Amino acid sequence: MELTLTQPDDWHLHLRDDDLLQAVAPHSAKHFGRAIIMPNLKPPITTTAAAVAYRESILKALPADSNFTPLMTLYLTDTTSPNEIKLARRSGVVFAVKLYPAGATTNSQDGVTDLFGKCLPVLEEMVEENMPLLVHGEVTDPDVDVFDREKVFIDTVLQPLIQRLPRLKVVMEHITTMDAVRFVESGEEGFLAATVTPQHLILNRNALFQGGLQPHNYCLPVLKRETHRQAIVSAVTSGSKRFFLGTDSAPHEKQRKECSCGCAGIFNAPVAISLYAKVFEEAGALDKLEAFTSFNGPDFYGLPRNTSKIKLTKASWKVPDSLSFSFGNIIPMFAGETLEWQPCVGEKAEMLNEVQEVGANKG
């Protein structure tokens, strides 16, 4: 079995910087046409000038023949100005602003402490500029259980935000609960959407503990109950335009994952397309895969769909146990396991198309 899809985009990607950027960027560029690049570096990407410079670093890290396009974002802080939003829109390279509640995840210490008290003028300017707000949807109150933080954030932050600024385009990123599914489905199409990761479609929270503590399955937001996973799968495979691909691929060197205080993040770039295909096949919804991977995202952002193609072949392949680099090793998601869908792009996809056409002509 083979599938030909419009080349997907990744609407939530961490590429890091320096040696890690050089190591991981080619893996995303191999399969995706574009990606929304997360700004949580040290220091964070808080200005348009910094976003432009980071974009240049990404382009330099790509293979010479790559057509991958990084779509940059700004890191929202308590001191971001409305004028910075104007500069971002006029730059032509910044496509969204990211909201990290302070302390919610990796390198979020500079995030927002009071969204309505300190950021309202910026949010109003974003409405004027049609600039989407990308949300890490978790509260950081230590009194709130880690498994409830997404629901509490919806109730206390996102619902009031949508009511106050109904024309603000909002993407709730890496949703993990049926509460998030219901919230996104309740909003106005074209103004409220969600990205979904492969890990939250395939794994539940048991994957953190089976056979011992599994640090390479640890991410934020943390994996949830099986009932939540099933709700997300149902939403994504329903054909709804409100949900689209966002891997949240977040690489860390092996020793930073396997230590007494391991980092949150799953490096899924090499396997994401294969895993999404697995989910849609098991749901009997392969006919809806292309919209999720390739249409819903650009349509929400008001960008053209890609014209290049990617081919998925039903052929078993083994995920590497580890990826080795000069600075150390990175463990990919599903390391050492066998997957059933293998993607190929560019010349390989074209060659497969040509082979099929020749065979059809002979027949």
Note down pLDDT in tens along the chain; length 363 residues. 899 999 999 999 999 999 999 999 999 999 999 999 999 999 999 999 999 999 999 999 999 999 999 999 999 999 999 999 999 999 999 999 999 988 777 767 788 999 999 999 999 999 999 999 999 999 999 999 999 999 999 999 999 999 999 999 999 999 999 999 999 999 999 999 999 999 999 999 999 999 999 999 999 999 999 999 999 999 999 999 999 999 999 999 999 999 999 999 999 999 999 999 999 999 999 999 999 999 999 999 999 999 999 999 999 999 999 999 999 999 999 999 999 999 987 555 555 445 444 444 444
What is the total residue count of the chain?
363
Q: Is-contact 271 334, C-beta < 8 A? A: yes
Q: Which amino acids are annotated catalytic?
A: 12, 14, 98, 136, 174, 248
* Closest C-alpha among 90, 103, 52 to residue 73: 52
The answer for 121, left when phi > 0, alpha when psi is -120 to 50, beta otherwise, is: alpha
Residue with tokens 């010479």: 64
| Packed helices 178-186 and 226-236: angle between N→C axes, nearest 10 degrees | 30
Whole-number pLDDT of residue 14? 98
Give the CB-side neighbour count of residue 189, counting CA atoms within 13 A: 7
**316 three-class SS:** strand
- Give pTM, 2 decimals: 0.94
Whole-number pLDDT of residue 356? 45
* Domain 2-344 belongs in CATH node 3.40.1350.10: no
Whole-number pLDDT of residue 355? 46
| Packed helices 48-61 and 18-31: angle between N→C axes, nearest 10 degrees | 70
Bridge partners of 194, per DSSP, are 172, 243
- Residue 207's contacts (CB-CB under 8 Å, 6 or more residues apart) are 214, 217, 223
Whole-number pLDDT of residue 97? 98
Q: What is the DSSP letter of 105?
A: S
- H helix intervals, the chain: 18-31, 48-61, 82-91, 115-118, 120-129, 149-153, 159-164, 178-186, 198-202, 226-236, 254-257, 272-282, 289-290, 296-301, 346-362
Whole-number pLDDT of residue 88? 98
Q: Is-contact 295 10, C-beta < 8 A? A: no
Instruction: For residue 324, count other CB atoms closer than 10 A to its CB.
Output: 11
Whole-number pLDDT of residue 178? 98
**Domain edges within the chain:** 2-344
CA distances from 200 to 27, 131, 196 (A): 20, 27, 7
* Closest C-alpha among 73, 307, 300 to residue 195: 300
For residues 353 and 6, give the distance between their C-alpha atoms in angstroms, rounded to a whole number: 14
